[in-house]
Amino acid sequence: MAVDILIGLQWGDEGKGKIVDVLAPTYDIVARFQGGPNAGHTLEFEGTKHVLHQIPSGIFHPHIKNIIGNGVVLDPIVFRTEMQKLTDRGVDAAKNLFISKKASLILPSHRILDRVSEEALGSGKIGSTLKGIGPTYQDKIGRVGLRVGDILADDFQERYNKLVERHRKTVEFYGQQLELGEQEQAFFDAVNYLKSLNLVDSEYMINEALKNGKRILAEGAQGSLLDIDFGTYPFVTSSTTLVAGACTGLGVAPRHIGEVYGIFKAYCTRVGSGPFPTELLDEVGEEIRQAGREFGSTTGRPRRCGWVDLPSLKYSIMLNGVTQLNMMKADVLTEFDTIHICTHYKLPSGEITDKVPHSLEEGSVKPIYTELPGWKVDLNQIDSVEELPEAFKNYLVFVEEHLQVPITIVSVGPDRKSTLKRDAMNVA
C-alpha cells in the first residue's frame, strides 16, 4: 500500500479540509505532516461548519485514525480548545487521535516572538498568522526546541524554563519585554491534558499500517506557493508544504508515495503579504471575495483575490508530482460574463514564459490572459458532471489541457455533498 497525499497548489485555503473529508471514507488513516495552528481547514456537512487547525480532517469519521505527525508544530493551548469544540459537538476525538512524540511544541513565548519579529519587519512584514510558527520551526532547526515527547520527562519544566530564557533575551533584543501572564499556566494545563492522549511513535504506526495494507491519506496544510524553498520567499511559511514534506513529516519513504491530489481554486487567493501576479485590486476582486466568502478561517483577514494562474499551477504540479487535480469553488464565478485565465507571464525583458521566475516581486511579471465566456449558471444546483453547462466544461478542459493532469473532482459548494467526481480524462 502507498500513502496518498493531498496538497494545496496555490497560497493555501484551496479547500483541503473539505476534500480530505470527502475522500476520507475510503481511507483508514488521515495524517497531518507539517504546519500547525496557522492552518484553518473548513468542513461542512449536515448544516454545520467545522474549522480545524491542528487536528486532521478525518476526525469526523469514526473508523479513521487521525495522526498529527512529527513535522507538525503543535500549540497545546489551541489544541485543547479544538478538542473541546469537538467534544461539545459530540465527537469523541481523543479515541481516534494519535500525536507524534516528535512533533514540535509551540510555547506561548513563540507566539510573542512571532509578533515582535513581525513588528520589527515593519512594512516588510510577512503577514504571519502570529501563531508562533516561524519561531518554533527556527528552534527546531536550531536544535533547541521542545517536542511532544519531552512533556513526559521529569525535567520538562527545567527544559521549558531554559528555552523561555532564550526567548526572553531575544524579545529584549527587539527592545520589548517578555510578558507571558496567564498564558504560562494555560500552557501547562494544556500540556497536562496532552499527557492523557495517545502520544505515539507515529513513524512506526504509519509504516506498520502500510505493511498491513491500510490506506493512508496525508493532508497538506498551507499551499505549495507558501513552501519554504519553492514559495514566494520570504513571504512563505516555515515548513515544507510540498509532497516531500510528507516523507520527512511522517517518516514515510519516497517509494511509498502513491496518488498525489493537487487542489486549486478556479480563481486564486492569498492572505498575508507577498507577490500575487494575478491579484485583482478592483471591484472584480471584491466581487470574488464576497461571492467566495474569502475571509481567513484562522485570522478572519480578508483574502486577496485574483484570476487563476496557470504558470504557478504548472510549477506546483511539477514540484509535487501531482497525479490528479481537484478544482474548487467554480460556483463562485457564476456571475461573471467573462473568465480570465493567466496562461503566461511577460518578464521585464519582454520575454513571454510559462515558468515561474526566481522572484515574483510585485510588478516583475505581467500576467497574460486568455478570456473565456462565463457560464452564468448556479453550479451549486448541479448533481453530476454531465449536467455542467457547456461554457464551464470548456473552461475546465482548457485548464486541464494546459496543466496536462486530469481534473477528477469538481467542487461546487462548501458542503460535503457539493462534490462532483469526474472520470473523463481529456489529457493526452
CA 82 – CA 52 distance, rounded (Å): 7
Does residue number 44 form part of the binding site for ligand GDP (CB under 6 A)?
yes
Does residue number 58 form part of the binding site for ligand GDP (CB under 6 A)?
no
Q: What is the x/- site pattern for ligand GDP, positions 105-124, by CB under 6 A?
A: --------------------
CA distances from 38 to 106, 272, 279 (A): 12, 12, 22
Q: Is 12 annotated as a binding residue?
A: yes
The helix/strand/coil state of 206 is helix
> DSSP state, 301?
P
What angle separates helix 108-121 from helix 183-195, to the nearest 10 degrees?
130
Member of 126, 268, 317, 407 binding ligand IMO (CB under 6 A): 126
Contact of residue 128 among ligand IMO, ligand GDP, Mg ion, none (CB under 5-8 Å per partner type)? ligand IMO
Does residue number 56 form part of the binding site for Mg ion (CB under 5 A)?
no
Q: Name the strand (E) or helix (H) holding 158.
A: helix 156-173
Q: Secondary structure of 212-232 in the HEC alphabet?
A: CCCCEEEECCCCHHHCCCCCC
> DSSP state, 415?
B
- Residues serving a catalytic function are 13, 41, 140
Q: Which amino acid is at 150?
A: D
Q: Is 300 annotated as a binding residue?
A: yes
- Compute the radius of gyration of the chain from its Cα atoms: 21
Our CB check for ligand GDP shows the closer of 15 and 311 to be 15
Q: Is 41 annotated as a binding residue?
A: yes
- Per CB under 6 A, which region of 19-27, 189-197, 221-229, 416-424 contacts ligand IMO? 221-229
Our CB check for ligand GDP shows the closer of 93 and 205 to be 93
Member of 10, 15, 191, 280 binding ligand GDP (CB under 6 A): 15
Q: Is 15 annotated as a binding residue?
A: yes
Contact of residue 105 among ligand GDP, Mg ion, ligand IMO, none (CB under 5-8 Å per partner type)? none
Map grid coordinates 512563505 to a residue: 236
Task: Map the footprint of Mg ion across residues 289-308, applying CB under 5 A.
Answer: 297
The helix/strand/coil state of 302 is strand
Cis ω for the linkage preceding 234 (within 30 of 0): yes
Our CB check for ligand GDP shows the closer of 233 and 295 to be 295
Q: Is 39 annotated as a binding residue?
A: yes
Answer for the pair 357, 364: CB distance below 8 angstroms, yes or no: yes
Our CB check for ligand IMO shows the closer of 237 and 324 to be 237
Contacts of 384 (CB under 8 A, 6+ apart): 420
Q: Would strands 257-265 and 304-309 be described as parallel, antiparallel, or unpaired?
A: unpaired
Does residue number 129 form part of the binding site for ligand IMO (CB under 6 A)?
yes
CA 126 – CA 124 distance, rounded (Å): 7
Does residue number 221 form part of the binding site for ligand IMO (CB under 6 A)?
yes
Residues marked as binding for IMP?
A: 13-16, 38-41, 129, 143, 222, 237, 301
Per the annotation, binding residues are 12-18, 38-42, 129, 143, 222, 237, 297-303, 329-331, 411-413
Residues making contact with Mg ion (CB under 5 A): 13, 40, 297
- Site residues, ligand IMO (CB under 6 A): 8, 11-13, 38-41, 126-129, 131, 133-134, 221-223, 226, 237, 271-272, 297
